[in-house]
Amino acid sequence: MNSPITLDEALEKIKQLKNTYYFRRESEKVALNDSVGRELSEDIIADSMSPEFDIAAMDGFAVRSDDGYPLKISGNIYAGDSTANMKRGEAMAIATGAILPQGADAVLKMEDAEVKNNILCCKKTGKWENVFRKGSDYSAGDRIFEKNHRIMPQSAALLYSLGIEKVPVYKKIRAGIISTGTEIYNGMIKNTSSVLIQGFMKEMGCESEFAGSVPDDYDKTKNMLLQACEKYDVVFTTGGVSVGERDFVADIIAKTGELLFHRVAIRPGKPIAVGIVNDTPVFALPGKPTGAFTALEMVVRRYFTGMPRATHKLAINEDVILPENGFEYIIFVKIAHNMAGPLGREIISLDKEYGVAIISASPRSAVVDGYVVTDRTIERGEQVNVYLFS
C-alpha cells in the first residue's frame, strides 16, 4: 500500500483540480442583492467616473491654496448643494461630501481654522489637500472587478455605484452526495455525514442534493457513482475509502476515471480519496463523521475557497501526546479563560495519547471553537496557533 501524501501535496493537487474544473460553469445574471458570495463570470468595466466633481473630504473651509490669509468667509456649502463660485481672497465653509466651489483647490480642516468676525486665519494649505478629486476613484474604461472575483458586501456596494442592477455570475455548483455502507443503507446508523456535507456546501454558497445511499456492493456503488457524475458538478461520497475488505470507492474511482490521490497524512481524516470520473471531480470522504469533517476542512475546502481561517495565539491548557509520528494532527479545542482546551479528559489526558479513532467517530468532537495543527507533542502552557471557526 502506498504511503499517505503530505497535506501540502494534497493541497497542490486540489489547486490544480480547481484550476481546471471550478470556473467552467455556465453564467447567469442575478439581482444585485443576490450576488454576494457569488463569483463574477466576466470583468466589470466602468462606463462613468467617480466622483463626478471635486468633493470635500472633511468639514472645514474651501480655500485657494495660493491665496494669502486672512480670507473673508463668503458663504456655506453643504452636501447636495449645487456648485458655487468662490472669488480670490475668499473662503467658504464646507461640509464633508459637498462639491468644492469653483476657484477652490483645497479644504482647510475645521480644527485648524481660526475664525473671528467672519474672517479666516490659518496656516497655508497644500493644493488639493483634503479633497476627493474628480475621477480619482475610477474613470470610464477602468476595470473595476476581474472575472472570478468573489463578491463581498463592499463589492455589491461598488457595483451599485456603477449602476449595475443585474450581476453576471457563475451558476452555483451543484453537488451530489452518496453515502456508502450497508449500515447506512439499512438505517442501522444515522446518515450524519450527508447532513454535514450539505451544511458545508451551503456555507460555501453552493447547492447540494442527497443522491442516495448504497450498500457495500462494488457494482451498485460503481453504478451510483457513474450516474451521479453525469448529473452533478462535483460528487461527494462517504465511507468505503479505508483499507477494509469492503472499501471499494478509491478502486472504483481509479478504474472508471483518474485517482489523484488516496490517503493524506492527517489525523483524523487520513482515508480521503480525490479523483475525476466522467470529467467530474469526486471527493471521497471517510465514513466516520469527524474524520469526514476534518477531510472537508483541511483538504476539500481549498477547492471552494482560498480564504484562510482567522487564527489566534493561545496557551494550551494540558499536554497533547501524539500516538504516532509522520502525521499532521488536528486537535479540536474549546476556548475558555483565554486558553485552548483540547476536547476534555475523556479523550485527551496527561497520561493518555490523542484518541484519533474515538474523535473521528464522534460527531460531537468537532463542535468546538477551533483547532490546532501539530506534528509533535504539545506541552501544557505552550503557545499554539488556533484556527477559529467563527
Residue type, 246: R
**Do residues 60 and 117 both lie within one domain?**
yes
Write out the residue range of the structural domain in which residue 336 sits. Answer: 311-388
**Do residues 218 and 291 both lie within one domain?**
yes
Per-residue confidence band for 346, with pLDDT thresholds at 50, 70 and 90:
very low
**Do residues 335 and 274 both lie within one domain?**
no
User: Can you tell me the mean pLDDT for 202-220?
Assistant: 95
Per-residue confidence band for 348, with pLDDT thresholds at 50, 70 and 90:
very low
Lowest mean per-residue pLDDT among 205-209, 292-296, 348-352: 348-352
What's the structural domain count of the chain?
A: 4
The pLDDT of residue 350 is: 41
User: Can you tell me the mean pLDDT for 183-199?
Assistant: 92
User: Can you tell me the mean pLDDT for 290-302?
Assistant: 96
CATH number at residue 316: 2.40.340.10
**Do residues 288 and 359 both lie within one domain?**
no
**Bridge partners, residue 138, by sequence:** 50
Task: Return all residues near 294 (Cβ < 8 A) that are at least 6 apart.
Answer: 266, 268, 269, 330, 360, 366
First to last CA, the chain: 38
Q: How confident is the model over 125-135, as pLDDT tens digits?
A: 999 999 999 99
User: Can you tell me the mean pLDDT for 277-299?
Assistant: 95
User: Can you tell me the mean pLDDT for 160-171?
Assistant: 96
**Do residues 365 and 294 both lie within one domain?**
no
**Do residues 208 and 296 both lie within one domain?**
yes
Task: Return all residues near 321 (Cβ < 8 A) that are at least 6 apart.
Answer: 348, 352, 353, 354, 377
The pLDDT of residue 352 is: 58
**Do residues 348 and 330 both lie within one domain?**
yes
**Do residues 38 and 151 both lie within one domain?**
yes
Buried b (16+ CB within 10 A) or exposed e, 168-188: bbbebbebbbbbbbeebbeee
pLDDT over threshold 70, residue 1:
no
CATH number at residue 181: 3.40.980.10
Q: Is residue 357 part of a domain?
A: yes
Percentage of the chain with pLDDT > 70? 97
Antiparallel, parallel or unpaired: β 234-238 and 174-180: parallel
Per-residue confidence band for 358, with pLDDT thresholds at 50, 70 and 90:
confident
Q: Is residue 62 part of a domain?
A: yes
**Do residues 324 and 234 both lie within one domain?**
no
**Do residues 272 and 355 both lie within one domain?**
no
Per-residue confidence band for 319, with pLDDT thresholds at 50, 70 and 90:
confident
Q: Is residue 290 part of a domain?
A: yes
Residue type, 321: I
**Average pLDDT, whole number, for the chain?**
92
Q: How confident is the model over 229-265, as pLDDT tens digits?
A: 999 999 999 998 987 777 899 999 999 999 999 999 9
Q: Is residue 283 part of a domain?
A: yes
**Do residues 149 and 98 both lie within one domain?**
no
Q: Is residue 2 part of a domain?
A: no
Per-residue confidence band for 349, with pLDDT thresholds at 50, 70 and 90:
very low
Report which of residues 140 and 343 the model is more confident about: 140
Report which of residues 30 and 343 the model is more confident about: 30
Closest CA relative to residue 204, chosen from 274, 307, 310, 330: 307
Q: Which residue has the cell 483645497?
A: 106
Q: Is residue 1 part of a domain?
A: no
Q: What Å distances lie between residue 43 and 34, 39, 150, 200, 328, CA to CA?
A: 18, 11, 12, 28, 40
**Helix (H) / strand (E) containing 72:** strand 71-77
The pLDDT of residue 367 is: 83
User: Can you tell me the mean pLDDT for 329-351?
Assistant: 75
Report which of residues 281 and 287 the model is more confident about: 281
Q: How confident is the model over 41-62, as pLDDT tens digits?
A: 999 999 999 999 999 999 999 9
User: Can you tell me the mean pLDDT for 31-40?
Assistant: 96
Per-residue confidence band for 353, with pLDDT thresholds at 50, 70 and 90:
low
The pLDDT of residue 169 is: 98
pLDDT over threshold 90, residue 357:
no
- Looking at 120, 146, 169, which one is the last position of a domain? 169
CATH number at residue 37: 3.90.105.10
pLDDT over threshold 70, residue 92:
yes
CATH number at residue 100: 2.170.190.11
The pLDDT of residue 204 is: 95
The pLDDT of residue 345 is: 43
The pLDDT of residue 243 is: 74
Closest CA relative to residue 294, chosen from 360, 244, 203: 360
Q: Is residue 28 part of a domain?
A: no
**Largest CA-CA distance found in the chain, in angstroms, rounded:** 95
Give the three-state DSSP class for 53. coil
User: Can you tell me the mean pLDDT for 373-385?
Assistant: 94
HSE of 356 in the Cβ direction (CA atoms, 13 Å)? 18
**Do residues 40 and 124 both lie within one domain?**
no
